Every structure is written in C-alpha cells, then in structure tokens.
Structure 1
Amino acid sequence: MNFFQHPFTSNTLNILKLNAENLLYSPSKNFKFKLQKDFKKAAILVPLCNVNNKPSILFTIRSSNLRDHSGEVSFPGGKVDINESVEEAALRETEEEILIPKRNVQVLGRLSSLPSLNKKLEVFPVIGFLDYIVNTEHFNKDEVSTVFTMALEDLLDKKNRELQKFRETEIIIPSWKCPLEIQKKYGSEIRLIMPSKSKSPSRKQSKSPTRNVDEADEAIDFSDLEKKFNLEYDFQLSHVVCIDGLPVAPQSKLAKLQQVLEKKIYETSKIKINEDCVFMPLDGEGQTKGFAFITLENVQQATDFISAMNYFPFDKKHTLLVNHFEDIELFHKKEATYVEPVLEEFVEKEHLKSWLMDELGRDQWVMLHGENFGVYFNNKSDDPDLIIEKKRWSEYFVQWSPNGSYLATLHKQGVQLWGGETWKKIVKFQHPGVKLIDFSPNEKFLVTWSLEPYQFDLGERHNVAVWDIATGILLRTFPFDSTNLAKPSDETQLRSPLQSVKIHWPLFKWSHDDKYLAKANYGPTGSISVYETPGMGLLNKTSIKVPNIKAFEWSPSEPILSYWTPELAQIPARVTIMKIPSREIIRTKNLFNVIDCKLVWQNAGKFLLVQVDLQKAKKQTGINFELFRMTEKNVPIDVLELKTGDIVNAVSWEPAGDRFIVLLQDGQKIMANFYEMVDFNLNKNSSTVENVRLLKSVERKSVNKIFWAPTGRFAVLAAVGGSGELEFWDAEELVMHSSAEHFHVSDIEWDPTGRYVISSVSFWSNPTDNGYQIWTFQGTHLLKQPINQFKQLLWRPRPKTLLSPEQQKAIRKNLKEYSVQFDKIDTAISNRATKDEIERRVRLLTEWKGYIARCKKDYEKEAKERAELFGGVEGEEEIEEIDEIVEEVVEEIEEIVEEDDENERD
C-alpha cells in the first residue's frame, strides 16, 4: 500500500507526526553550507491537505508588489519574531497570507533547517495539515497573487519532473511544471524547484539547461527521494475497522451516504467520526462497493466501535457487519477444508476442596523460601506438616484463588493452576512474560497482565487477557493504557519485588458475582467500560461517560458502582453511586475544595466510606468521612469531620460488622480511634455526628496498619516495616489483650477462621531476620520459625459457608456443647504428643546405653595391646568406686496451719 495514494487520515497523520524526519524529505541534508552567527531565523509552513479525495500540497505565488521573491512559487512563511517559536511563526504567517486560522492547522513536525544565503536566513520548514476546506480564491491579495494545490502522486511521478540549473549557478536541481491553469495565467516558465544533492555537472552536461530526468539518471541520484516517498509501510491496523452491508450508491450520493453513516455511528456508539477517517471505495462505474473502512483513534475505541455497531440495522434492508481490518486477512488465511477437531479423552478432575476433609479441621498455607515452595498444614504450636514441596515451582510468586480451590504459579510462558489431593496441574494459560494475575471472586475467570504486548490467538498484540478457568479458553484481550501507571506514593501500586514499573492493580475490577468486569478510562473524555461475562461484550454496547474520572469501586454484595470525579471550573467534585446494568444513579454527593478521595467499602456492602481530603483556609488541610448507608431508603449520608491538620494513616472496616478503625497522625502523636455506625432507625432525628459513635480513642506509639480477623471483632494494629509492634485488640470489649514485637515485620496474615495470625519478615523487604511467628487471636505466642531467605507465606482461603444464618446462630448458641468435644480432641492430641515425646526419649536413652556397652566391650578387647604399650604391665591400677549421696533442697514451702476448735478448747 503506497503511503500517498489515499487521502490523509488521522492514522497517516499520526505516522507522519511520529516519523517526520524519516518520511519527509529534508532539503538541508543535501547542502553543505555553513551557517553564520549573524543568520536570523525564518519559518515556512509546508501545508498538506486533501483535495478531491487526494493527498496534496498547497502552494502560493507571491504578489508582484513585494520587494523580495515577487512572483515566485513559495510556501507561506516569514521571519521569526523575538520570543516566538518556529511553529508559531509559521502559523502566524500562514494566517496572514492565506487566511487559514491557526486552530485549523495540525502541526506534524519540523524538518531540518535550510540556509538562504542571499538573505542570511536559516529557514525552518514546518509540516502541517490543513484541517480546513481549501479555498484557492481566499487569500491576502497584498502578499499573495494566487493559491493552488498539487497532488502528491503528481509530484512523485518521474514524468512530471525535470532538471535545470539553479539560477545562475552550476547546481542542477529538480523542477516541476505548475498546473495548466497556473501556466496559462503566469507563463509556462513558472516552476516548482527543490534543492538536490547533485554535484555540478560537466561542461557537456551544462550545455542543456533543461533535460528529461530519465536521461540524467546516471548523473543525478534520486534514490533517497524514491526510497522515502515510495516506501512500503507495515502498519499496525488494529485500530481500523471494516463495515460491510452498506447500501450501494452512485458517486453523486457518496457525501450524503457518508453523512448518514457518521450520524448513525454517533447516535449509537457516541463516537464522533471525522470525514477524512472514512474511506468508501468505488467500482469501475463510479458506485460504492457496499463497504467502508474507518480509522479510529486507538485499538480500544475500535473494539468499542465493533461492540456497538456490529449487526446494527442501518435501514430495513441493510444490516451492518463490522470487523477489525486485521481480522480480514486472518480469516483469509483460514483453511477452507473443514478438519474435524480431535477430542481429548475425558479425565476426571480431583476433588478441589479435599483439604477441607482433614480430620482435625486444620488450615493450610503455602510458603516460599529461597527457591523452595511448600504447602503445609498448621499445627498450632508444633511444627507444621509438609504436604508437598517443589523447587522452582514458580518463577516469581504464587497466589491462591479466592476460595482456595487453585494455587497459581507464574512462569515465563504463562500461568498454571494446581490443586486436588495430589496437586496435579489443572489448567494452563499461555501468556508469555506474565507478571500479574487477578481471579474473579467466584473463581470462574482469570485476568493476566504482561508489560510487553503478546500476539494472542485472537489476532492482536495486547497486554491484558481474560480467561475462562474451567475450560482454559481465552475470552478477550485488551491493550495496556499508560494512564494506569501508578505514582510512587499511590497506595494501589503493586507490592512486589519483581516489577520495574508500578501500576494500578487490578486494572479490571470484578462485580461480586463475576457477571461484570469493569475498567476505568482516565482523562478529560473518561469513561467506565463494563463488560458482561462470559461473552465479554461491552454492556449496552457503550461505555459509561464519566469525564475526568479518578477512581471507582464495585459494591462487594450488589452490582453497584461507586466513583468520584474532581472539581473542574465551576463544577464541584462528585461521588456517584450507580446501579448496573440499568445505569440508574441512586445517590450523588457534591463536594467542594477537594484534594483527593478514597472509596472504602464494608465487605458486606452495607456501608461505603469516602475519605475526602480537603483544602481549607490558610494552606491548612482537613479530612471528612462521608458514610453512605447503602441498605437504608434513599441512601442517607453521615458526615464525620476530623480535626484540621489530622492525617489518616489507615482506615479499615470490620468484616461483616458496623465498626471501623482509623489511625490518625496528629503531629508526632498517633491515635487509634474505634467508631461504630449507630442504627439509623434509632437516631433519625439526631444530629449527623451522633449516628457515628466514637467508641474509644487511644494514643499509640508507632502502629501504621490495621488487620481485622476475617470473622470480625478482633484486630491487630501493627507497626509494619519498623519497630514491629503488634497489638491484639478486642473491638467488642474495647480492650487490648496483649502486645508483642516482631522487629521489621513486613506482613500480617490471619487464618480464614480468625483463630491464628502469622507475622513474618520477608526477604523481599528485609534481607535479615527472615522467618515467621504464629500467634493466637489474643496474642499468645505459639511458634517462632527463623527461615533463611523466607519470602512469602499465604493462608489457603476457605470457601463461603453453606450454612444459613439461622444454622450458624444455632451453632454459636450451643458452642459450649461443641467445646467439650473439641477439648477432648485437643487433649488426645496433647497426650499423643506427650506419648510420642516419651517414646522418643526412651529410644534415645536405649541407643545411648547400647553405645556405652559397645565402647566398654571394645575397651576390654584392647587390654593386652595397652599393656604392651605400658612396658608389659598387665592390668591397671585398681579403681575404687565411691558412692556419695548429695542432698539438695529443691523447694521450701512455709504453710500456716490453724488448729481446729477442739484443740483450741483443750
């Protein structure tokens, strides 16, 4: 496909903009003049345009009234003023000469400068595209005599090019005849000229001032021009779509058909198509062929366009079929002969929740240390039982699925999932270079991401892939948007030692039931794209328009989206809550003087806390908590205003509870505040703050993180990454059961039952003192395990309970009866452990006595040899054994015994 055979589109203009130095001819490279210090700057605009559906260049003929270069063919331009850029000068001169406004010129780039020796000017050519209907009758008659255009294909045709001397010099340059109407008006001698890298010709050659190009090919080397202008480009056309099913119309109705098409596209997809981005080919009789090519801004917009317009009823007789341009070639390469697929033999999978059948009801964890990965059963204060261990099981890290069914390992080739009683490979996903993964809440789907794009089977080079876990089928791929790169201080950045970049993760966020997958598109034209599983089509075929969106989150219990947008001009910042799929807005809250917002959902979806950072007077900052009651009618909002100057280090909801903890920093002090949401029905007439009750406020030393037990009530406040203080709190009784220290602690992990908690120091965060410690929920220390190069420990999640709330309530009510059974089991385990220890000691003692007996026997056998060594003396001096009894006071106890009444009477 020749670059200049079709009209300029946004795609070709972008390519020119990115490659201006390489694609467009730069005259100054062909001259060896040395610029002088007194040379001044000048700028010209090389105006590209589309004329009669052909890429063209606009020229002017300077007015005969001008002192310099009067009557010459030229580009608009002039000297660069002080404090003016070259581009600004070119646009200014263009507007002055041919009356085209600056806003209608798209600057594509600047070429290397060219000297004008007689005027001592350094001339800078600026390439620009006229986003404007060219009117050759509209110009400044004081500076320009006329305006005309020439098609690029005519300029590049060798037949239209000749050679001639440049003015009175011996330099040979190429020239082109102007259009016929210009020649008739100004004479046949008026020509376009371009500097060439030709050397001065010989005397024989110089006799003929003008010759045909073909006769001088040996003298003049145009290979550089031909190579640049006739270059075959291998473009990525994934943002170009093909629309089939359009009505066939004559060329006279082409413009009308295109207008109707653009209108219907905008009404359906809300995507505005520029006129030059649509190409409808014509047949030999001048009629359209029933299809068109449309160039979109990017791959994502092309994908959204297809989702919105495919199978769209254009009219009663025509239905549109839309595909990616690259898919056409892909389909063409498919074999026409049907080949029946080979069906793999069915292999029954192992029970993926077999670990829940453990007789002792123990939980598992996976641990990485050095290059070894192991899965263990927890044994409270005893060493864990190893289930399976593999070296280099994963090349990076491992990750459990949300319900614990799968263990994911990452490799250079992709991701593998393991599970079952024998830990067989369940399924694999081919995604080379994968670095991050994200499971859907119910383990139906998997999202994978790589920094480098990969050519997937769907035919596109993308970074993100969505997979069906049960079948291993690739559902859809997406490109990576650089706006998802995280700032260094962003709390959403990935915590991993493996990444050279930090990004917002997860890029896509799942609804609670795996039905929807959403992604934010940031920027002034921002939106939220919601995709419906398993088809992965765009919901309602359009994205939700949210200009300047900053963040969004799903409700953990319902298909409800929450998002916020910043202040812009006179429009306040706003928090919005929207139902999906109806897109009904159920609550909004306008906010003023906002610096930032954070959306924090309670895990049951009962409350939404919005932390609002505010800019107050005198450069002071403040923080408000906007608390949305999602289960109440009309979603009432409680406002909790914190003291001016306070900094929120952490805020966390109690799982399935009404309480939340806030860690505040007030100067050097750190305060831990325990809050409770009061039943709204009991306080309908009370002031707002009373609906959020402060239960307790205590000053802490250095804690900076909050870790709730999965079952609620109990929490650990920890100083992560520093002194390692651990505080074990009961939010029901508002007491701290105990405190401890684990220096340099990097991770806190609760087990799924909320009974045990592990603190650890990872090699990834600190190269020394690596290992983990196990504690009870009350802070009782159970086990300490120093491990060299300990890196990661993750409890295996449990699936959601199958018991109803009533059944769970009945169990809690009769917990004492069950406790007796559990105590017997614990005693049996303890006795078995004691018995095992006694047997171990007896075995060691027996081994020791046997060893002594063998040594004594060997000693007696060597008696004769020893006698020879001592000069023939047989035997040894008699050894007298003396037994001495030593008494030692072990413990003294003083006890006062009172006499009974009868002794007192005696």
Structure 2
Amino acid sequence: MTDISKELDFEQFIKANPGVQKFLSESAKEIIQQLPAEDRPKKPYVEKSFEDFIIVCGLPIVDQQKFPTLQKFFCNKVLPKIGIDQMIRNDPMSSRCWGWDENKENTVGCVILDFKNAQFAEEAISGTPGDSSKPGIDGLVFDKKHTLKAFSYIQYNKIMDQADEFQAPKLLQKKELQEWQNSEEEIYAIQNGKKLYLHKLFHLSKNPSYVLPDNQPFITLNGVNKIEWSKNGTYLVEYMEEGFQLYGGKKMEKLNFYPHKNVKNIEFNSTETHILSYNGTVAENQDSENYIVWNVDQVQKVRTFKAAQDDEWGGMKFNHAGTLVGRIASHQLFVYKLPEMTLLPDPQTKERIPIVVKNIQAFDWIANSNSVCVASYPGRRDYNSEDIKKQPTKLAIIELPSRRELKWKSISWEISDVQFESEADGKYILAIMKKMNRNKLVSTLIHVVNLQNRNLLEITDLELQVGEHGALKSYNFEPNTGKLAVNLAQKQNFATNSKTTQFTINLYDIHYKGKTIVIDLIQQFTEQKIPETLWSQNGSFFALINKDKESSQQGILECGFVSKNKDKKFQAEVIRKYDNLSYMDYGEYDSTGRLIITGSSHASSINIFNALGESIYKDTYVKEDQIQFCAWRPRNKHLIKIEEKNKVLAEIKPNNANWKRWQEEDKKILNKKEYEEEQRKKKQEKEFLEYMAKKREQWDSTRKERIQLRGFDEENLQDTAEYTIILNEEIVETGIIDKK
C-alpha cells in the first residue's frame, strides 16, 4: 500500500507561505461563528476542584504509639458504621491522610478523606437524605469527650480566608447616592488607563464640566480588568481578579469590595439592593460558587450556585421588579424570592420545588408581572438523553406563583438561539429565533405574543428568509415605543482577509391596531456596511453604527429620525453621515435619547453628537493609556403601574392645564433670545397698561369737578348743554379807554 501521509502533510507548505496560516485561521473562526451556538466546539472540561475532599476534625489527639489504635478504630468501626467506607477513594489507613504537629510526634485531631465523587463527599458530611443508616460524619459522637465535625475542602478554605477582625460595610445614605439624579445634565465616564474621568454635559451646551467636587478631573482606579455602571447609575463597578469594587456618592469614593475570584459578569436588580455575580462555568473556575447573589448593603452572600459546563451568563436573572430570581438547570426552572433566596412553593403541594420544563434552553421575565417566558428545544444545554432530545420544540409562558402554563406555540421545525424581549408595560413579548434545517440556517423568525388576553394568546409573526434578506447579525428592540431594528448579513467574501459583509437593515414599528398587534416595516436600508443599530429611548431617533474591531469599515456613524407622513405612517430618514470616526469601538445614546457618545480606544478620543447628528464636543486623552471604557451614566427607571402611567400620559395632552406651562418652559430653554425679546415686549405692554389704568383712575376721581366746571358730563352722551348764540354784534363806547 502506498504511504500518502507525506502528501497530506502541509507543514512545509504553511511554513513557506505564512499568509496561508492566517487565512485558514480567520476563515475557520468565521465558519464557526456562523454555526448555531450548540454546534460550536466546546472547551474540554478538566476536573481540578477539591469537591471530592472533606476534612474531619474533633478526633482525639494521640502520640505515635497510640496512633495505630485510633486509625484502626476510625477506619474499621466508625466509617463502616455510618456506611461511607465504600465511598472513599483513598486509603485512610495511610498516615499521610492524618494531620500531625510540626515534630511529627502527635496528631492534631484531623483527617482528610478523598471520595469517589462530589456527591459522595456531600453525603458523607450531612448524610444520605431519607436513609437513617447513613447519618453523616458531621455531628457524630466519637466518644464521651469528642464529637466530630466535617467540612468540605472549599468550606474549610472559606473559614481560613475570613478576616481576623470584623470590618463594617461602608454605607452612604440613599439621598447622597441619588443626589445626582436631580441634575438636568447628563454624566459620562471615560476610563483612560487607571484614570476615570467624570464629566457632565447639558444637552444645549457645548462645553462639559467636571462632576467631582473642587473640579477634580478624575479618580484613580486599580485598573485591573474593566468597569461598568450599575443598572440605575447609582454605583460604578470595577472588576478585579479577586472580586469587584463599588464606587458611589458625590466624590465617587470607594465603598465596598465583594470577593468573587475571576468574576466576569454582574447584574443589579432594579432596586439595586442585590447583585448577581458570575465567574464562568466549572470548566473555567473549579469551585462551587460560580453564581453568587449578594446583599449590597450588608456585603454578604445570600446564596451561591455552581454553574454546569454548558451553562453561560444569562441562565440566571432578576425579574423586572427586582423581587425574584430565576435560574435554569437540568430541565428545571428555579424561582427564588428575595431577600431570603428561598424557592417559591408549589401552590398545590406547598413544597418548595422547581418547575420542570423539559429541554429548557432560554427564559426571560415579562415586565409588570411575575410571568416567565421559556423556550424548550434541543440545543446548547446538552442533557445527554436521546429521549429528551426527542421532546418537541416548545415556546410557553409560565405564570407565577400559580405555575399555570400558557403554551403559545408548539413548533415542528428546528430552532436555535431564542431570545426574548418584553414591552415596557408587559403588553406583549417578542421572541427572535433562528429557523434551522439540519443545522443549516434557513430564516429568522420574529414572534410577537399579545398578552392582553392570556386565555387566548394571539401571535403575530414575521419570517425573514436567508436567501432573500440575509442571516441575522444583530437586533435592537426599544421597549418603550415598540421600535425594532434588525441587521441582516447579506454577503461575505471568504477569499480575502478583510471582511466585506454587506447588511440589510430593517426598521419595524410594533403597535396595536385595535386589539390586534401588527408589525409594520418603517424603512429598509440595503447594501449597508453597518452591523448594528441604536435606538433612542423615545424611539424617535436612531443611529446606524459600525464599531466592529474586525471590520474594515469600522468608524461609520449615520444618524436619523423617525416621523409620521400625511398618511400617519412612520418613515425613517438618515440626515447625517460620518465615515471618518476611525477605530471607533464605543457608541451609545444617553438615557434621554438626546445625545450620542462615541469613543476610540486606539485613538484615545471621544465625540459627542446630538440626536440629529450635529457634532457638539470632541476630546483626546493621553494616547499612552488607551480608552478602556466610554459610557453615559444610566438614569433611574421608575417602576410604576400601568394605571399610574396612563394618568401621567393624560396630563401631557394639549388640552391639559399644565400643557401651556410646559410649552412655555420648553420654549424658554430652546429659544432663549426669542424668549427674552418676547418677555421684554410683554413687560412694556404690562407697564403701559398699568400706566393707563393709573391715569384712568385719576380721570375718574376728578369727574365731579369736571362736571361742575363744564356744566355737563362729557362721558354721558345723554347729558345735554345749552348754548347762547349771538347773531348780531354792536360796538359800544364805554369811555374806559381814553381817547387821544
């Protein structure tokens, strides 16, 4: 047989052509990114944890001579008695498992046991549930003077890591933490190396000012990892290797540190009283505390969870009101109630048990309710069961606490990457998913579920075929106004190193027409080089932006607005374009939707535009330290009931008493010079009328004198006066005047 292994060896060819290796590597990445998440290669899992080990303390302290007797009694009598001798992997008869003092003369009353798996180790500590013959080592009476205490190796390390002295949490009053919310100016933060610059900008001004007292331009960070704002902007979070640090208050001072090694993501609940932190799966961090729920003020762990190998950030999240926490794992949806973090009980059995949802892959909370939408299909969370994989694909809503399931769709085709979005008031939910056929993307499906009548769910759907529109690249849903932007990749050239992907951008308006929900296409932009769309909070403005570091077209920004035409239909128009914002990798609207900030880490520069795309401000920072963070400070989002919101909306109608006053206030701000001129004229008019009123009063006060003097009332048309008319005239000599 001919050996063709040499003909298949391309090592020498790759060495002679270094560009080929780079091309193959980038092409492989692009191909992998196009695959569904569940089909992408997974990182191999290597068990490095100490969850199989336990430490037993409280044993008698003996010398070398009595040690064999203690050893035999413990291994041959105690362990078999509680039924855990067959669970142990190591040999407890070995002296290496026992703790000795420095001189190796006496034991220290401890022994380390290595079990065959983590479950055996846990049962050895606390006992096997429902089996009284296996009570566990912890609390076991060894003799009259000794009671055993057992710890997992992780628990032991936590005890040893505790500080010797208690440190009280550093707390600021809520008034001081929230005082900045009263300002009309918008705050933005720039991280440049270890310096964090804080600026504030009024939307009609062009010159930002410093936020910190005494015009202090920045605070100094540890600069280890990354930073971000909390959900309502109350705190600034700095990620570090051993945990995360919170900053807050007027001076943006250091508050408290929360230890969580290699933390990657955190999320605040809506009231910012609790934090959920995540440091990856067990394959990335070999510990049992991958998820931690924290009490912010007490700086205490409320509850911890271990993440499975196929878990990822997003599998655990707070509800919109910040009172519940949901988590998916092993075909189950776990719902915990804050602040105790106890499981919600089943209303039928009164037991605190999770909700069974076969093949659950994704979930999300619905606004203004405690309902959850779930997606079940074979996917990323590999449950390793052919029976489970045959379960039908299902999208459903689960109401809490009743656990009533509202099935909105049983789907016969393959789907992947389901993502949910809730309308701000919870009137409808949006599900965006990929339709697959034998692991090949066919189309993008958009389902809008009307929740006004939950007894009969009405679904409005939209399907975008890959061949006609392209593959889904990104989307952006604005929950307050129902605006949806979908960016679809059309073409991609794999023969060149540079990405030349073109995109179709569809802007939609999701709204009620009577009692039915409709999805109207506002505008379609074709042959674009922009993979992302931003919406302002009021849905009136949008920005098409390319901040993809791997794109050759990075640095494009197009600003536009949405308006209604004569037929009262929405239309979109781009009014300003920028294609020279080189190396732009940050970009977002502020919380009011009036300002846009962009930043470049490579150029260490920022640009601020108004909603119409007009440039307001530019700045450049020290280039030795690249910009690592550029973002507006979020505003507090008030959670009010729909009835209260409708009452507020009723007050801003033109026929409302407050409307004119608000119009005047807006006019004063937007047209300062015109307003001042108008006020000057009004002042002159007022002074003139006051002068006329004063003179009129004087005129009226002299009425009697005028009548007596003139003999009639000149203001009374009925009052007549008599006149004597002399018809003849005669000269009479009186002699008064002397004659010459």
Q: TM-score, normalised by structure 2?
A: 0.60
Q: Which runs of 5+ in 2 are unaligned?
A: 1-47, 54-79, 95-110, 139-148, 160-165, 346-351, 379-387, 493-501, 564-570, 677-740
In 1, Cα distance between the equivalents of 2:199 and 2:478?
28
Taking the TM superposition and a 5 Å limit, the aligned residue runs for 1:649-664 are: 649-664=473-488
The answer to whether the 8 A contact 1:350-1:420 is kept is no
Partners of 1:56 and 1:354 lie apart in 2 by 62
Alignment correspondent of 1:594? 414
Question: Does 2:366 align with 1:366?
Answer: no
Question: C-alpha displacement at 1:555, in angstroms?
Answer: 1.7
Counterparts in 2 of 1:385 and 1:821: CA distance versus 1, 3 Å: same
Separation in 2 of the partners of 1:711 and 1:370?
34
Distance in 1, matches of 2:305 and 2:225, equals: 23
User: What amino acid is aligned across from residue 643 of structure 1 in structure 2?
Assistant: Q
Distance 2:260 2:671 in 1: 51
Within 2, Cα distance between the matches of 1:452 and 1:639? 35
List per-residue Cα deviations over 1:284-310 (Å, max 9, x = no partner).
Answer: xxxxxxxx3499xxxxxxxxxxxxxxx
Q: Does 1:779 align with 2:613?
A: yes
Partner residue, 1:864: none
Maintained 8 Å contact 2:169/2:297: no
**Aligned amino acid, residue 669 of structure 2:** F
- Please list, as runs of the form range in 1=range in 2, the aligned pairs for 1:599-678 lying within 5 A after superposition: 599-604=419-424, 605-616=426-437, 621-633=442-454, 634-645=456-467, 646-667=470-491, 669-678=502-511
Q: CA deviation at 1:325?
A: 6.2
The amino acid that maps onto 2:422 is Q
Q: What one-letter code is carried by the residue in structure 2 that aligns with 1:233?
A: L
Say what the alpha-carbon RMSD is for the aligned residues.
Answer: 4.5
Q: Secondary structure at the match of 1:481?
A: coil
Q: Is the 8 A contact 1:599 1:608 kept in 2?
A: no
Measured at CA, do residues 819 and 549 of structure 1 come closer, stay the same or move farther in structure 2, by a change above 3 Å?
A: same
1:795 maps to which residue?
632
Deviations 1:339-388 (A, max 9, x none): xx999999866621221343xx1011221002211221125422443524
SS at match of 2:113: coil
CA contact (8 A) 2:344 2:353 kept: yes
> Which has the larger Rg?
1
Aligned residue number for residue 882 of structure 1: none
Structure 1 residue 702: deviation in Å? 0.7
1:630 CA displacement: 2.3
What residue in structure 2 maps to residue 697 of structure 1? 524
Query: Aligned to 2:514, which of 668, 673, 681?
Result: 681
The reply to whether residue 239 of structure 1 matches residue 122 of structure 2 is: yes
Q: Indicate if the aligned counterparts of 1:448 and 1:464 stay in contact, CA closer than 8 A.
A: yes
Share of identical aligned residues, percent?
A: 20
Matches within 5 A, 1:357-756: 357-358=182-183, 361-379=184-202, 380-387=205-212, 388=216, 389-450=218-279, 462-484=289-311, 504-521=312-329, 525-540=330-345, 541-566=352-377, 570-604=390-424, 605-616=426-437, 621-633=442-454, 634-645=456-467, 646-667=470-491, 669-681=502-514, 691-721=518-548, 722=551, 723=553, 724-732=555-563, 733-741=571-579, 742-756=581-595
Contact between 1:520 and 1:549, CA under 8 Å: does it hold in 2? Answer: yes
3-state SS in 2 of match to 1:752: coil
* Whole-angstrom CA distance in 2 between matches of 1:569 and 1:452: 23
| Corresponding residue SS for 2:584 | coil
Residues 1:531 and 1:56: Cα distance change in structure 2 (over 3 Å)? closer
Q: Give the CA deviation at 1:434.
A: 3.6
Q: Contact (CA 8 Å) 1:512, 1:554: kept in 2 or not?
A: yes
Contact 1:573 1:594 in 2 (8 A): yes
Q: State the one-letter code of the partner of 1:531.
A: Y
Measured in 1, the distance between the counterparts of 2:596 and 2:83 equals: 72
Structure 1 residues 408 and 826: CA distance shift in structure 2, 3 A? farther
Superposed displacement of residue 670, structure 1:
2.3
**Gap change, CA 1:325 and 1:672, over 3 Å in 2:** same
Instruction: For residue 559 of structure 1, report the CA deviation from its aligned partner.
Output: 1.3
Letter of the 1:770 partner, please give it. Answer: S
Q: How big is the shift at 1:433?
A: 4.4
Name the counterpart of 1:354: 179
Aligned residues: 506
1:222 maps to none
Structure 1 residues 532 and 475, CA gap change in structure 2 (3 angstroms): same
Aligned match of 1:770 in 604, 607, 629? Answer: 604
TM-fit CA distance, 1:737: 2.3
Q: Which amino acid aligns with 2:473?
A: N
Change (3 A) 1:426 1:56: closer
Q: What amino acid is aligned across from residue 565 of structure 1 in structure 2?
A: S
Q: Give the number of the structure with larger relative contact order, counting CA–CA contacts within 8 Å between residues 6 or more apart.
A: 2
Deviates more, 1:806-815 or 1:531-540: 806-815
How far apart, CA to CA, are the structure 2 residues paired with 1:373 and 1:326? 43
Question: Alpha carbons of 1:700 and 1:786: their partners in 2 closer, same or farther (altered >3 Å)?
Answer: farther
Contact kept? 2:667, 2:675, Cα under 8 Å: no
Query: Structure 1 residue 819 and structure 2 residue 666: aligned?
Result: yes
Write the distance in 2 (CA, Å) between the matches of 1:816 and 1:433.
52
CA distance in 2, matches of 1:461, 1:54: 25
Unaligned 5+ runs, structure 1:
1-13, 20-50, 58-105, 110-151, 158-230, 245-257, 263-277, 282-291, 296-323, 335-340, 454-459, 485-503, 684-689, 763-767, 830-906
Per the TM alignment, residue 673 of structure 1 is displaced from its structure 2 partner at its CA by 1.6
Structure 2 vs 1, CA of residues 771 and 828 (structure 1 numbering), >3 Å: closer, same or farther?
farther
CA offsets, 1:33-72, max 9 Å, x none?
A: xxxxxxxxxxxxxxxxxx9998999xxxxxxxxxxxxxxx
Deviation at 1:749, TM superposition (A): 1.6
Post-superposition offset of 1:598: 1.9
**Maintained 8 Å contact 1:399/1:409:** yes
Provide the rounded CA distance (Å) in 2 between the counterparts of 1:554 and 1:385: 38
Q: C-alpha displacement at 1:446, in angstroms?
A: 1.0
* Cα distance in structure 2, aligned partners of 1:342 and 1:726: 49
8 A contact 1:651–1:662 mirrored in 2: yes
1:759 aligns with 2:598: yes
CA-to-aligned-CA distance 1:800-844 (integer Å, 9 cap, x gap): 358955445545743531222213669999xxxxxxxxxxxxxxx
**Partner AA of 1:436 in structure 2:** N
- Displacement of 1:534 in angstroms is 0.8
CA–CA distance in structure 2, aligned partners of residues 350 and 707 of structure 1? 32
Partner residue, 1:183: none
Any idea what the Cα deviations from partners look like across 1:832-860, whole Å, max 9, x if unmatched?
A: xxxxxxxxxxxxxxxxxxxxxxxxxxxxx
Instruction: Label 1:734 to 1:825 Cα distance change in 2 as closer, same or farther (>3 A).
Output: same
Deviations 1:585-618 (A, max 9, x none): 1233111221414223134133322223223599
Residues 447-494 of structure 1, C-alpha deviations (whole Å, 9 max, x = no match): 2334699xxxxxx9623321111332321222232222xxxxxxxxxx
CA gap 1:809/1:714 in 2 versus in 1, 3 angstroms = farther
- Aligned-pair CA distance for 1:624: 2.2
Report the Cα offset of residue 682 of structure 1: 5.6
Counterpart contact for 2:278–2:313, Cα < 8 Å: no
